[in-house]
Amino acid sequence: MRFLENRTRRQNAFTMVEIALCLAIVGFALVVIMGVLPLGGQAQKKNRENTLSLMDGNYLLEAITQGARGYDDLGLYVDEILLYSDSDPNGAPKAVIQNNISGGTYWGTREIVGLLSAPRFLLTSSNVWVPNYLNNEGILRNNLYTNMTCRLKMRSMNGTASDKSNSDTSRDFGMAYLVEVDVLPVQTNSLNVNQLNGKDPSLTEKMKEERSLSQNVYQVSVTLSWPLKKAEKGGYKAGGNSQLFRTLVSGSITHSAVQADLPGLGTRDLVFWYFNGNEFSVTNNTSFYDDLAK
């Protein structure tokens, strides 16, 4: 009889109210978790972008300061070279499309670094700084005698393997930057030829010393900005993320004039500039401006 009583005894279970409470607690926890997941994803995405931009920016800075020597793969990641007139830096650029599968041009590291390394100012024989318009005379024919800003639309060099492909998909969805470089001589000279007039030889020597320093020390800054989207006037504009890299370079800077065929622009005379840390300009060298102005 006792055995039968145990089999027929009623078992306690959850009530509908308890089940509803459990479901409410689980649902609330799921809502909290789903709300935190996007924040974690955004933090991971931001950390990844900052890490990639840090490596890419240092690579670019080194390639420029070393005069492109030993950096042979930069051109593989540059999609477009954008040439802007400084009189309208937000206007429509002249674009050189890189690595275009449907047929385009390809500029390697040396050509790209040669454009980016152009100093903003040149020193004349009178010890006066002038804008470096001679670097782009004849390129932007409707904007002669103005400075030219060269920017790059460039994909990350340290991203995933799919980002490094030259396919249109990787160009559209891979991490990309708008790259801008500024090269400024370290200006120390306060004297010019008109102030000397042969009156004080010590001032002449002082001018030569200051001139020598100005021709052998430069401040180079590289700015990477992202994310990118097409600008209304052409080219690209970047979002609110950016990284700035800056260094001082000691040594001479040389130039070489070449003829290049730019798509949509035809043949143009370009001046490429390169740093050389193993050589230093002579004290009274005027090749920065005077040789080009002949």
Asked if the model's pLDDT at residue 212 lies above 90, the reply is no
Greater confidence (128 vs 232) lies with 232
Locus of tokens 């800077």: 253
* Angle of the 16-65 helix axis to the 109-116 helix axis, nearest 10: 80
- Using pLDDT thresholds of 50, 70 and 90, give the confidence band for residue 38: confident
Q: What per-residue confidence (pLDDT) applies to 27?
A: 86
**Measured distance CA(236)–CA(222) in Å, rounded:** 17
Asked if the model's pLDDT at residue 100 lies above 60, the reply is no
pTM: 0.75
CA distances from 268 to 35, 128, 172, 288 (A): 56, 28, 30, 20
CB 140 within 8 A of CB 85: yes
Q: What per-residue confidence (pLDDT) applies to 144?
A: 44
According to the per-residue pLDDT averaged within each range, which of 64-68, 169-173, 191-195 is highest? 64-68
* DSSP-assigned letters across all residues of 125-150: TTS-EEE-GGGSTTTSGGGTTS-EEE
**Measured distance CA(51)–CA(40) in Å, rounded:** 16
CB 135 within 8 A of CB 72: no
Vertex 171: Cα angle to 229 and 94 (nearest 5): 60
Q: What per-residue confidence (pLDDT) applies to 148?
A: 72
Q: Is residue 219 packed enough to be buried (19+ CB in 10 Å), middle (13-18) or exposed (0-12)? A: middle
Percent of residues, the chain, with pLDDT higher than 70 = 69
Asked if the model's pLDDT at residue 1 lies above 60, the reply is no
Of the given ranges (95-104, 145-154, 161-170), which has the lowest mean pLDDT? Answer: 95-104
Instruction: For residues 241-264, give the mean pLDDT.
Output: 83
Instruction: For residues 279-287, give the mean pLDDT.
Output: 59
**Measured distance CA(178)–CA(95) in Å, rounded:** 13
pLDDT digits (tens, 9 = 90+) for 140-162: 555 444 567 889 999 898 877 76
What's the per-residue H, E or C state across 228-290?
A: EEECCCCCEEEEEEEEEEEEEEECEEEEEEEEEEECCCEEEEEEEEEEECCCCCCCCCCCCCH
Give the closest residue to 278 by CA, choosing from 257, 253, 256: 253
Instruction: For residues 79-105, give the mean pLDDT.
Output: 72
- Using pLDDT thresholds of 50, 70 and 90, give the confidence band for residue 99: low
- Using pLDDT thresholds of 50, 70 and 90, give the confidence band for residue 165: low
Asked if the model's pLDDT at residue 245 lies above 60, the reply is yes
CB 203 within 8 A of CB 197: no
Greater confidence (157 vs 285) lies with 157
| CB atoms inside a 10 Å sphere around CB 247 | 14
| Domain chopping of the chain, boundaries | 37-293
